[in-house]
């Protein structure tokens, strides 16, 4: 599809307000040789019940429908893995369904739960996601991930998804990054920032205290991407529970409003056709007329340098809740930093920066909790969790982890989740002596992007303090 | 270890049904996994060897043509479709806009004369079951304005650069009937430099 009809561009409407009441997540790690997936999911649901001062049994009494997300049955070697988890969580005989949208699975899972509540079908729905990526050797894991590409046209070519993805990075690097050393360093800054933030997160699988030079000198995976530019391959679980207003206030005094938009684009990058750039509320007609002049080769949209699905998801979500300019209207974001360069592409797709100017979000210091240039709070901190690069990418859980993290900021309870010495000890991790709170002070609205592969599926979730809505219902 | 001919599974279609013959899986005993630090059982391995039987459906002509040295694509010829005239490579059985069956067209000559690199990546990584030599030079190939998509393939002779002219080569000897029968080399590569089994 290269032209949208008005009906396709209709702004999604929820039939009644939906609230996020609680979230929870397990420890994330590369492998859990002595832990079953259900144990990780129970950890996540127990954390969610603890968060609202209930026992799991008390919280479960509210749940009416269950959505479960895990990307690959192959990884867990268990078809209908959702049914196993559902049973082990003791949620039979409730209606349940599995959701699979690659890297966007976590976001898509709660998108479905939101719609169940918005429609009135359920007053309370569970979204639980996980991934089991440690039960095959890494090269077989790479093969399984490559099966999410087109099995006839792509998978036989190396059985390595990075190859199908990195061609987009190359194009962005050459056209918009102009192969500049300064752009290369900006990419590296993202890795340094996110791995550094992960040091403050006991759940995180990949914390590192590194420098830009460490990133630039790390092993080349697919030039210009190096090992430290790339996300983790993790195991773990995360969940969120959404409710209608009445139920939400029975569970907690502080539920958050939730809005989710979703978009899609071709599974094969090869199939992308030219189209006009769909505009977000903070962009003007003709704004991009000279894009090809400023960045020769950059006039093909979405080409290989943009993610149409992210743009469409943001278009729906922003218009649902009244966001005009994400930098002005939001306080914190968790983005899908699968690779440093795709993180930059996403800044543009969701309107944090105009197309071609993504790098300035990092270079200005706006993306930091504390702006390194001004030493004052950053304008729109990105990925204080550590993101996929520093915290985890347990595919089906990732989008839910991001939403949980945004929630903790708005609830002003980020420290409670990340600081306690006993949690660090329970996870077998050493709390850094320089542990610092990354709580975004005064956060009232935030966003999480959940993104699949080369951009086949993307969800854009926005959470708001109900007293700080932009648009009246 | 490659399977012997006796261990391989073969399939024919006879009277509209798949007829498998040969061996489709070899059973291998599972093994326990112990925690060497505690001496306790942690789990088991589950070895498995399977062969999928897969239909190419309407794309079969594309994969069969590669072994004959032809690059086939499809074109929307529907007068009532805004995409009329668009050529799709990767081959699409149906036009994605009007969902009418697209016309199969031969774009071998177009590829030989106009193909150039839109983007590329060189990687030393691969997944299990890879048969390409490392490093793999992935390229995305654009043809001309009629072809509205950008084909992914690999460059097996020469160094990739955006905009560089490339030419398709085909595994015409002992074809695999997969996308691996199509690869590219930089323009001007002598036939003697092509990989074994491949021709222009």
- Mean pLDDT score across all residues of chain B: 95
Chain B neighbours among A 108-167 (CB < 8 Å)? 137, 139-146, 150-154, 156-164, 166-167
Percent of residues in chain B assigned helix, strand, coil, to nearest 5 = 15, 35, 55
pTM (predicted TM-score): 0.96
Q: Tokens in use for A441?
A: 């002070």
Pairing type for strands A457-464 and B136-142 reads unpaired
Instruction: Kindly list the residues from chain A whose CB atom is less than 8 angstroms away from the CB atom of residue B82.
Output: 3
Q: What is the DSSP letter of A272?
A: -
User: Inter-axis angle of helices A340-349 and A161-175, to 10 degrees?
Assistant: 60
Is the same domain home to B93 and B142? yes
What DSSP element (H or E) covers B136?
strand B136-142
Chain A residues closer than 8 Å to B149 by CB: 270-273
CA distance to partner chain A, nearest, from residue B96 (Å): 7
Task: Dump strand ranges (E) for A379-456.
Answer: 445-451
CATH number, domain with residue B167: 2.40.50.140
- Find the DSSP H helices in A100-222: 105-119, 138-146, 161-175, 181-198, 212-216
Residue B3 covered by a domain: no
Indicate if B104 and B176 belong to the same structural domain. Answer: yes
* CA separation for the pair A141, A196 (Å, rounded): 27
The reply to whether omega before A158 is within 30° of 0 (cis) is no
On whether residue B92 sits in a domain, the answer given is yes
Q: Where are the alpha helices (DSSP H) in A52-126?
A: 56-60, 73-76, 81-88, 105-119
Which has the closest alpha carbon to A118: A257, A322, A299?
A257
pLDDT value at position B1? Answer: 65
User: Looking at the predicted structure, is the pLDDT value of residue B165 above 80?
Assistant: yes
Q: Residues B184, B86: one domain?
A: yes
Q: pLDDT averaged over chain A?
A: 96
Give the residue from A188, A165, A174 showing the smallest Cα distance to A338: A165
Minimal-distance CA residue of chain A relative to B133 = A158
Residue B82 belongs to some domain of the structure? yes
Say how many Å lie between the first and final Cα of chain A, rounded.
32
Q: With respect to residue B163, please indicate whether it lies within any of the assigned structural domains.
A: yes
Looking at beta carbons, which residues of chain A come within 8 Å of B42?
33-34
pLDDT score for B24: 86
Nearest by Cα to B139 from A302, A157, A271, A176: A157
| Token digits of residue B197 | 């089994």
Residues B190 and B119 in one domain: yes
Average pLDDT over residues A383-393: 98
When CB atoms are compared, the residue of B59, B120, B132 closest to A158 is B132
Interface of B with A in 65-124 (CB under 8 A): 82-83, 86, 88-90, 92, 96-97, 118-124
Kindly state the average pLDDT of the residues A159-169: 90
Output the CA angle A88-A89-A91, nearest 5 degrees.
Answer: 110
Q: Beta strand A236-243 with A124-131: parallel, antiparallel or unpaired?
A: antiparallel
- Kindly state the average pLDDT of the residues A122-135: 96
Q: What is the mean pLDDT of residues A49-55?
A: 98
Q: ipTM value, please give it.
A: 0.91
In a domain, B50, yes or no: no
User: Measured between alpha carbons, how far is B171 from B168 in angstroms, rounded to an integer?
Assistant: 10
Mean pLDDT for the stretch of residues B88-102 = 96
In a domain, B74, yes or no: yes
- B14 and B109 both lie in a single domain: no
- In this predicted structure, the answer to whether residue A238 has a pLDDT above a threshold of 80 is yes
pLDDT bin (cut points 50, 70, 90) of residue A299 is confident
Average pLDDT score over residue span A126-144: 93
Average of per-residue pLDDT across B66-85? 97
Write the residue in B90, B127, B178 that is nearest to A158 by C-beta.
B127
Strand partners, A260: A461
- Answer whether B154 sits within 8 Å of A157, measured CB to CB: yes
B107 and B31 assigned to the same domain: no
Note whether B162 and B93 are same-domain residues.
Answer: yes
Nearest by Cα to A203 from A440, A397, A453, A442: A397
Residue by residue, DSSP assigns A163-197 as: HHHHHHHHHHHHHTSTT-HHHHHHHHHHHHHHHHH
A468: DSSP letter = G
pLDDT reported for residue B23: 87
Kindly state whether residues B27 and B63 are assigned to the same domain. Answer: no
Residues in chain B: 200
Residue A471 is predicted with a pLDDT of: 92
Q: How many domains does chain B have?
A: 2
Q: A359, A129, A340: which is closest to A238 by C-alpha?
A: A129
Structure tokens at B87: 């050529």
- Decide: A190 and A390 in contact? Cβ < 8 Å: no
B123-160: pLDDT as tens digits = 999 999 999 999 999 999 999 999 999 999 999 999 99
Residues B31 and B81 occupy one common structural domain: no
Encoded tokens for B149: 């998509």
DSSP state of B191: G
| A113 has a pLDDT exceeding 90 | yes
Is residue A1's pLDDT more than 60? no
Read off the pLDDT of residues A401-456 as tens digits, 9 standing for 90 and up.
999 999 999 999 999 999 999 999 999 999 999 999 999 999 999 999 999 989 99
- Residue B30's domain comprises 9-44
**Does some domain include residue B128?**
yes
Indicate whether B124 and B81 sit together in one domain. yes
Q: Are A129 and A68 in contact (CB under 8 A)?
A: yes
Confidence label for A73 from pLDDT (cuts 50, 70 and 90): confident
* pLDDT tens digit sequence for A136-148: 998 999 999 999 9
* Contact flag A163-B123 (C-beta cutoff 8 Å): yes
Q: Is residue B147 situated within a structural domain?
A: yes
Q: Rounded to a whole number, what is the distance in Å from the CA of A263 to chain B's nearest CA?
A: 17
At A74, is the pLDDT very low, low, confident or very high (cuts 50, 70, 90)?
A: confident
Do residues B146 and B88 both lie within one domain? yes
The alpha carbon of residue B72 is apart from the nearest alpha carbon of chain A, in Å, by: 14
Q: Looking at the structure, do residues B114 and B147 belong to the same domain, yes or no?
A: yes
- Closest CB to B128 among A140, A168, A174: A140
Separation in Å, CA of B18 to nearest CA in chain A: 19
Q: Tell which residue, A276, A339, A341, A285, has the closest CA to residue A311.
A: A276
Return the residue matching tokens 């207003």.
A245
Q: What pLDDT, in 10s, does the model give residues B14-48?
A: 999 999 998 888 889 999 999 999 999 999 999 98
Tokens representing A86 are 């559902």
For a pLDDT cut of 90, what percent of chain A falls above it?
A: 93
The one-character DSSP state at B159 is -
Looking at the predicted structure, is the pLDDT value of residue B75 above 70? yes
Q: Taking the CA atoms of B30, B36, B38 and B42 in sequence, report the sign of the dihedral they define.
A: negative
Look at residue B7 in the predicted model and tell me its pLDDT.
77
Can you say whether the dihedral through the CA atoms of A157, A159, A160, A164 is positive or negative?
positive
Confirm if A155 and A175 have CB atoms less than 8 A apart.
no
């Amino acid at each position: 599809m290269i032209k949208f009809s008005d009906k396709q561009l209709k702004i999604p409407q929820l039939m009644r307000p939906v609230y996020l009441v609680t979230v929870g997540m397990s420890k994330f790690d590369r492998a859990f040789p002595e832990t079953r997936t259900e144990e990780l999911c129970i950890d996540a649901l127990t954390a969610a019940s603890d968060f609202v001062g209930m026992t799991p049994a008390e919280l479960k009494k509210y749940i009416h429908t269950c959505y479960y997300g895990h990307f690959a049955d192959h990884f867990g070697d268990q078809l209908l893995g959702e049914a196993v988890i559902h049973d082990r969580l003791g949620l039979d005989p409730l209606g349940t369904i599995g959701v699979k949208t690659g890297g966007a699975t976590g976001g898509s899972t709660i998108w479905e739960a939101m719609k169940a509540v918005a429609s009135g079908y359920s007053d309370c729905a569970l979204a639980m996601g996980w991934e089991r990526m440690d039960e095959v050797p890494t090269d077989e894991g790479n093969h399984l991930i490559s099966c999410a590409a087109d099995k006839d046209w792509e998978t036989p070519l190396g059985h390595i998804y990075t190859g199908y993805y990195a061609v987009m990075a190359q194009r962005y690097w050459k056209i918009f990054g102009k192969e500049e050393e300064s752009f290369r360093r900006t990419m590296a800054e993202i890795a340094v920032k996110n791995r550094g933030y992960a040091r403050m997160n006991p759940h995180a699988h990949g914390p590192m205290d590194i420098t830009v030079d460490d990133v630039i000198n790390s092993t080349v995976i697919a030039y210009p991407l190096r090992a430290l530019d790339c996300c983790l391959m993790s195991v773990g679980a995360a969940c969120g529970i959404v409710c209608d207003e009445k139920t939400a206030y029975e569970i907690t005094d502080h539920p958050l409003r939730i809005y989710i938009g979703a978009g899609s684009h071709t599974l094969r990058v090869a199939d992308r056709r030219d189209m006009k750039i769909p505009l977000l509320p903070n962009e003007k007609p003709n704004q991009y007329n000279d894009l090809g002049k400023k960045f020769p080769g950059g006039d093909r949209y979405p080409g290989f340098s943009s993610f149409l699905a992210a743009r469409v998801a943001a278009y729906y979500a922003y218009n649902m809740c009244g966001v005009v300019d994400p930098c002005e209207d939001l306080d914190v974001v968790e983005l899908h930093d699968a690779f440093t360069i795709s993180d930059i592409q996403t800044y543009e797709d969701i309107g944090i920066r105009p197309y071609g100017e993504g790098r300035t979000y990092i270079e200005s210091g706006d993306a930091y909790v504390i702006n390194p240039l001004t030493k004052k709070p950053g304008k729109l901190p990105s990925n204080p969790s550590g993101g996929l690069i520093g915290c985890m990418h347990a595919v089906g859980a990732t989008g839910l982890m991001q939403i949980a993290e945004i929630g903790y900021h708005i609830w002003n309870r980020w420290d409670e989740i990340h600081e306690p010495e006993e949690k660090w000890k329970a996870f077998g991790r050493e709390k850094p002596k320089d542990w610092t709170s990354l709580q975004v002070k005064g956060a009232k609205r935030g966003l999480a992007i959940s993104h699949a592969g080369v951009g086949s599926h993307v969800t854009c979730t926005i959470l708001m303090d109900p007293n700080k809505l932009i648009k009246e219902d | 270890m490659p399977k012997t001919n006796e261990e391989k599974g073969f399939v024919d279609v006879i009277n509209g049904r798949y007829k498998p013959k040969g061996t489709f899986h070899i059973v291998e005993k599972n093994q326990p996994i112990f925690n060497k630090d505690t001496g306790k059982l942690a789990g088991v391995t589950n070895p498995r060897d399977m062969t999928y039987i897969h239909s190419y459906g309407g794309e079969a002509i594309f994969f069969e043509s590669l072994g004959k040295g032809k690059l086939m694509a499809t074109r929307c010829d529907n007068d009532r479709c805004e995409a009329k005239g668009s050529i799709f490579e990767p081959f699409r059985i149906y036009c994605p806009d009007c969902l009418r069956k697209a016309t199969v067209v031969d774009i071998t000559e177009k590829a030989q004369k106009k193909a150039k690199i839109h983007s590329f990546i060189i990687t030393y990584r691969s997944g299990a079951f890879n048969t390409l030599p490392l490093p793999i030079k992935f390229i995305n190939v654009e043809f001309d304005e009629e072809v509205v998509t950008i084909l992914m393939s690999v460059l097996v002779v020469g160094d990739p650069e955006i905009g560089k002219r490339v030419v398709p080569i085909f595994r015409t000897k002992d074809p695999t009937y997969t996308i691996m029968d199509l690869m590219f080399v930089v323009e001007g590569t002598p036939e003697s430099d092509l990989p074994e089994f491949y021709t222009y």
